Chains A and B, each alone.
Chain A
Amino acid sequence: MKFQLNLRNVVVALVAAGLVLLPLYSQLSGNIFILTLFTRIIIFALAAASLNLIMGYGGMMSFGHAAYLGIGGYAVGILAFEGIGSGFIQWPVALAASALYALVIGALSLRTRGVYFIMITLAFAQMAYYIASGMSRYGGDDGLTIYKRSNFGGLIDLSSRVQFYYLCLGCLFGGIYLIWRIINSRFGMVVQGIRSNEQRMQAIGFHANRYRLVCFVISGTICGLAGALLANNTDFISPAGMYWTRSGELMVMVVFGGMGSLFGPVIGTIFFLVLEEVLSQFTEYWALIMGPLLLLIVLFARGGIMGLLGRFSRG
């Protein structure tokens, strides 16, 4: 893929550079708040990017993606609670648990299409929510405080704000690079072909659901990683984090940024969370402004912000 100098790529490059340099700004200006805000943004961007893999490229509208944030987070929280503090154990468990959940849920949900798929993924995520609420040993509804962040020995110190920020950023860039490789690979071509015309793909010899399922599992696993990061970021995990509204927010982030565009979810997440932050300083009814904005984007900018930028680049 050749790099072209157009508005869209310039914006992406500037945003990426801005994210890399942010801790420097935070240090110099003494603004710690912006660092914590953007740590959170980066983690959600990773989750949104994983959702974009199945939603934008795979055509699978999962309305239960927050479940992976919860599963990844609970894996870290529960292990920490039980005295296993090593990140080398916690994180692989978080990824494996998310992958397993995605495998089971995917195998069942992918028998359906369209609205039914949306509903069934939503139903499973709500089930996960109620299961988490019922785990009284781990705080039930009230959630579980994580007293010590994942321990990676001398490798990296998660309680250092800057180090943790760069870990999250590394995960985001790594995740996006991985997704970029995937969508251009044989596998990615098949998945996008199935989104475009499933019957045709079956007719030329592809077992569509097998590819869909693997894509679903990859997406869930990446989101599980975001969950592990998020739990470490907030030092806390609760069922509320996997409620359906959270899944909806992830979808909105993807749609804001532009479905099926590699960097779109990052832009969309920054847009969504910064806007939420700014608006909530003026009014507690910030959703009243966010809602119509989403409507405008869906109506007039099908490709989200990235689509808009692309339009200007061509003109």
Chain B
Amino acid sequence: MVEPLLRVENLVRRFGGILATDNLSLDVIPGELHAIIGPNGAGKTTLISQLTGQLTPNSGTIHFGGRDVTGLPSYKRSRLGLARSFQITSLLPDFTAADNVALAAQAHDGHSFRFWGNARKEKHLRDAAQAALTRVGLGRRIDVPVSELSHGEQRELELAVALATKPQLLLLDEPMAGLGVNESARMVALLKELRKEVTIVLVEHDMEAVFALADRITVLVYGRVIASGDPAAIRSNEEVKRAYLGDQHVVVAHG
């Protein structure tokens, strides 16, 4: 068997009396697109935040590339090649699109205790930003301040920022959230391209997108893994249907 790129073992995270992550184990194999689905409050974002180091688990371990990263702060994990996008868009609003991406490139280009030269004139940082922005379809919007970008463009910029850190593993927290039909389709097309180059963990509510993209799907309910397997297996899994897909159909029908 292939050595997993990411190995999560017996992860536990409590918020007061609530078990947000309940003895969760998970493997991500290099090259795969691993989707994590589950109803609201299943602990998906909590899991992502523990993977990237914004939250510390109460117990359990996280190995990335064979190395125990459970106690590492997020900036160190980023340097190891772990990148995330945020569910609620989290960019630098007073900066331009290019500045946002160039900073991500800068973070992985030696230290930044350089006080004199003009960072906006460093060609290789700007080129890296241009390349990442072109990649996600924002090539013509590079000098636009983030606050003037549309929501869809900001989601794409999130992705460009993550890409500019040259990650080995990309953790995408609901990249489709709040996107219109056309924008979603563009995002799916983009992810189809990206998955050829980088291992992806995708947390997403859009079931159509998940089943179109994923190699493997893990289903989370109340912080526990109730099923894990390829899309066909998940689709036919009775427990998943009952706990999640069924529920959602009900919700959709009512909504």
User: Quick check: B106 and A190 within 8 Å, CB to CB?
Assistant: yes
**B49-105 interface (Cβ within 8 A of A):** 52, 54, 73-75, 78-79, 83-84, 86, 90-95, 99, 102-104
Find A182's partner among B79, B115, B164 (CB 8 Å cutoff). Answer: B115
User: Quick check: A197 and B91 within 8 Å, CB to CB?
Assistant: yes
A163 at the interface (CB under 8 A from B): no
A209 CA to B99 CA in the complex, in Å?
21
User: Quick check: A204 and B112 within 8 Å, CB to CB?
Assistant: no
User: Quick check: A189 and B103 within 8 Å, CB to CB?
Assistant: yes
**A175-234 interface (Cβ within 8 A of B):** 181-182, 184-190, 192-193, 196-197, 199-208, 211, 214
B243 at the interface (CB under 8 A from A): no
A185 CA to B102 CA in the complex, in Å?
12
A186 to chain B, nearest CB (A): 4
A204 CA to B162 CA in the complex, in Å?
7
Q: Which residues of A contact B83 (CB under 8 A)?
A: 203-204
B119 at the interface (CB under 8 A from A): yes
Q: A203-B74, A206-B107 are in contact. Are A188 and B119 (CB under 8 A)?
A: yes
User: Quick check: A197 and B92 within 8 Å, CB to CB?
Assistant: yes
A13 to chain B, nearest CB (A): 22
B116 at the interface (CB under 8 A from A): yes
Q: A181-B115, A184-B120, A186-B114 are in contact. Are A200 and B91 (CB under 8 A)?
A: yes
The digit string for B109-135, where 1 denotes a CB below 8 A from any CB of A, is 000111111111010000000000000
A300 CA to B120 CA in the complex, in Å?
32
B159 at the interface (CB under 8 A from A): no
A189 CA to B117 CA in the complex, in Å?
11
Enumerate chain B interface residues (CB-CB to A < 8 A): 52, 54, 73-75, 78-79, 83-84, 86, 90-95, 99, 102-104, 106-108, 112-120, 122, 161, 164-165
Additional A-B contact list (12), CB under 8 Å, known A189-B112, A197-B92, A202-B78: A182-B115, A186-B112, A186-B117, A186-B122, A190-B103, A196-B92, A196-B93, A203-B54, A203-B74, A205-B78, A207-B75, A211-B112
